[in-house]
Structure 1
Amino acid sequence: MLRSLAFATAIIATGASAAPAQFVERSVDVHGRTYRYQVFVPADVEGEQPAVVLFLHGSGERGNDNQAQLSQGLPPWLKQHTDFPAVVVIPQAPNDTEWTDKADADMALAALDKSVKEFHGDRKRLYLTGLSMGGFGSWQIAADHPGMFAAAAIICGGVNALPDDGRNLYVHGVPKGDDAYAAVAKKIGKLPVWIFHGGDDNVVPTEQSRRMNAALLKRHAEVKYTEFPGVNHGSWEKAYATPDLWDWMFAHKS
């Protein structure tokens, strides 16, 4: 039997036939490798065509236990908001990999596609969000797949490699340095984006989000930018608690 988180019992079904909101485990085979991932399934989606959100976690949640990616960001928020109306796909990047690696991006999109098919999701209402490493990955996927998503919320991410980092964590396929921001803005096309960042982030420089915002504004793109003064790297709690975030996201269709 597929395992679900204990919180699933906390929601009371509104009708006798309603299924409760829950997290369920799934797996997908990509390039000869099997990856496990989690899916948040809202209450009673049978007969519906729900929106589907792809969530990319940060570097601290990498692994192969299919649990760590539930510990930060959107999944803990979902545990407190079990009336959330969308399916949320929550893949897990293996250790020592990055969401900007093609293999990880392919895996995340394969999990998304499989979930859309299983839960009869609305392909005109696919949404993208990620934090930190997942923010970098969100820029990467948005740049590589323009038109796939209806809107994105990108939290404390960036596009350029971090100083002395030595990782593969930067948006590939665009020039490095100052030209990266304009290139990413051009690649993502008309995707509406809400960017969040802590004003005192000492892990991913806030300047990266400021410059992406400026590059999108220069292209007259639909972009919102929220900076939390005095907040360090962990800006995702405030970001996902932003009252009108999901109304804004779900107002868009591709």
Structure 2
Amino acid sequence: MHRILRLLAACLCFTWGMAPLLLCAAPKAKESRKHPPQETGFLNRRIQIGTTWYRYQVYVPEDWHRDEQKPWPVILFLHGRGERGAEGMWQTQIGLPEAIRDHPERWPFIVVMPQCSIDRYWTDKDMLAMAMAELDEETAEFHGDPARTYLMGLSMGGYGSWELARQHPTRWAAIAIAAGGIFWSYAPERWLQASTLPGEYAQAVGRTPIWLFHGAEDKIVAPRQDELLYTALKTAGGHVRLWVYQGLKHDCWTRAFDEPELPRWLLLHPRETQEPQPFAERISIPLHPPALKLTPTQLDSFAGEYVDKRGLVVVTLFRQGDLLYQKNHYGEIAELAAESTSVLFYPNGSSLTRIDVERDSQGRVTGLLLRDDRHEERWERIRAPLRTHSQD
């Protein structure tokens, strides 16, 4: 018995002694990354100017690589009055940063996002100097392309963008401003120069391509500001677009910066030795398309219950008189209108959302495809039209 116990003890000692060697010989787990990690996305930054530290953010696209020397386009973005502060992050909540989060694939840019101090304005000289210092800092670090450096701003940031456009007219390849102007709300006396001031800015920026956006119902920054600037730029032979959104108030930037054409337009205008040709375009964009008048029979053809891919009823469509309505699974009712016989929209809701109508070979409605600026969702029709909801 003692002999057996001594043998077992010897075996255990041998096993424990070999364990480290067995672990070393075991194959190592594969690395989870093919490349060393690097910082991309929205990054915290800070800069010291004099004795003051300023916090800000820079956006770096996911496919940027530090070991590549490829020059990248750069945007300097100035936020509005409500995003002022000292934490360096609040300015990333609306406007261009929001558009980037929704569609990063559209924005292959290094984006520098300064933050104006809480008790200051972007038109203050030291705030503009701070923004330019941060732009220089990030351009150097992330291989920014001087020939593709762009300027964007909204609201109070639009005021600041016009000042930077005027002070550094050769720095910018193109400029995009939403709900901005040159007649500052905190300096109403500037309106006394309404007959001359727009022309001075137009002369300063020359033919730098500028795209202006404004809501027709804006009560905070009057659309007249952009109308005066547009006229001055057109008269001076500038390169300008003005898009006026009907039905929108001060916040036109959400719609403007979601325009798929905007980032492409910026990249079409690198800063060249030869000036762009004179160009002027003013477009008034309706909030919704004209509604197509459908017959009761056509409206009834949409009526029914529609389910998602899990089989849950998502919406019910029904007619009342000459109107079509949608009731969702929360019991909320919204009117639907027809852009065409195969496309519906919400006349009292989002201007971007559309519902594509799917039909079989006999023309019967079989499903709906909800699409907006960010996603698509299909609903399948499961029942015959519910005529109990109809009222002729």
Q: TM-score, normalised by structure 1?
A: 0.87
Q: Are the aligned partners of 1:39 and 1:87 in contact in 2 as well (CA < 8 Å)? A: yes
Whole-angstrom distance in 1 between the partners of 2:130 and 2:64? 25
Q: 1:43 aligns with which of 55, 62, 73?
A: 62
Q: Are the aligned partners of 2:75 and 2:150 in contact in 1 as well (CA < 8 Å)? A: yes
Query: Are residue 98 (structure 1) and residue 116 (structure 2) matched?
Result: no
The one-character-per-residue Cα deviations of 1:46-102 (angstroms, maximum 9, x if unpaired) are: 212110000000000000011210111011111112232110000100012111110
Greater strand fraction, Structure 1 or Structure 2: 2
Whole-angstrom distance in 2 between the partners of 1:108 and 1:20? 22
Whole-angstrom distance in 2 between the partners of 1:223 and 1:134? 19
Whole-angstrom distance in 2 between the partners of 1:107 and 1:186? 25
Whole-angstrom distance in 1 between the partners of 2:54 and 2:38? 26
Q: Which moved more, 1:36-45 or 1:125-134?
A: 36-45
Residue correspondences, number: 234
Q: Are the aligned partners of 1:133 and 1:169 in contact in 2 as well (CA < 8 Å)? A: no
Q: Are the aligned partners of 1:100 and 1:170 in contact in 2 as well (CA < 8 Å)? A: no
Q: Secondary structure at the match of 1:125?
A: strand
Q: 2:42 aligns with which of 16, 20, 23?
A: 23
- One-letter amino acid of the structure 1 residue matched with residue 200 of structure 2: A
Q: Which moved more, 1:243-252 or 1:15-24?
A: 15-24
- One-letter amino acid of the structure 1 residue matched with residue 57 of structure 2: Q
- TM-superposed deviation, 1:43: 1.4
Q: 1:198 aligns with which of 207, 215, 220?
A: 215
Q: 1:126 aligns with which of 113, 131, 149?
A: 149
- 2:181 — aligned with what? 158
- Taking only the aligned residue pairs, the percentage that are identical comes to 37
Cα separation, partners in 2 of 1:22 and 1:212, compared to 1, 3 Å: same
Structure 1 stretches of 4+ moved >6 Å? none
Q: Secondary structure at the match of 1:38?
A: strand
Give the CA RMSD over aligned residues: 2.0
Query: Are residue 234 (structure 1) and residue 251 (structure 2) matched?
Result: yes
The one-character-per-residue Cα deviations of 1:14-35 (angstroms, maximum 9, x if unpaired) are: x933857410011112233211
Q: Secondary structure at the match of 1:124?
A: strand
- TM-superposed deviation, 1:202: 0.3
Cα separation, partners in 2 of 1:170 and 1:72, compared to 1, 3 Å: farther
- TM-superposed deviation, 1:169: 8.7
- One-letter amino acid of the structure 2 residue matched with residue 50 of structure 1: W
The one-character-per-residue Cα deviations of 1:192-226 (angstroms, maximum 9, x if unpaired) are: 10000000100000000111111111111111110
Q: Secondary structure at the match of 2:196?
A: helix
- 2:137 — aligned with what? 114
Q: Are the aligned partners of 1:21 and 1:41 in contact in 2 as well (CA < 8 Å)? A: yes
Cα separation, partners in 2 of 1:77 and 1:123, compared to 1, 3 Å: same
Q: 2:84 aligns with which of 46, 62, 84?
A: 62
- 1:217 — aligned with what? 234
Q: Are the aligned partners of 1:20 and 1:42 in contact in 2 as well (CA < 8 Å)? A: no
Whole-angstrom distance in 1 between the partners of 2:53 and 2:187? 22
Whole-angstrom distance in 2 between the partners of 1:170 and 1:120? 42
Q: Are the aligned partners of 2:116 and 2:122 in contact in 1 as well (CA < 8 Å)? A: yes
- One-letter amino acid of the structure 1 residue matched with residue 64 of structure 2: V
- Which fold has the larger relative contact order, with Cα–Cα distance below 8 Å and residues 6 or more apart in sequence? 1
Q: Are the aligned partners of 2:77 and 2:152 in contact in 1 as well (CA < 8 Å)? A: yes
Gaps of 5+ in 2: 1-32, 272-392
Cα separation, partners in 2 of 1:75 and 1:249, compared to 1, 3 Å: same
Q: Secondary structure at the match of 2:147?
A: coil
- 1:8 — aligned with what? none
Q: Are the aligned partners of 2:86 and 2:115 in contact in 1 as well (CA < 8 Å)? A: yes
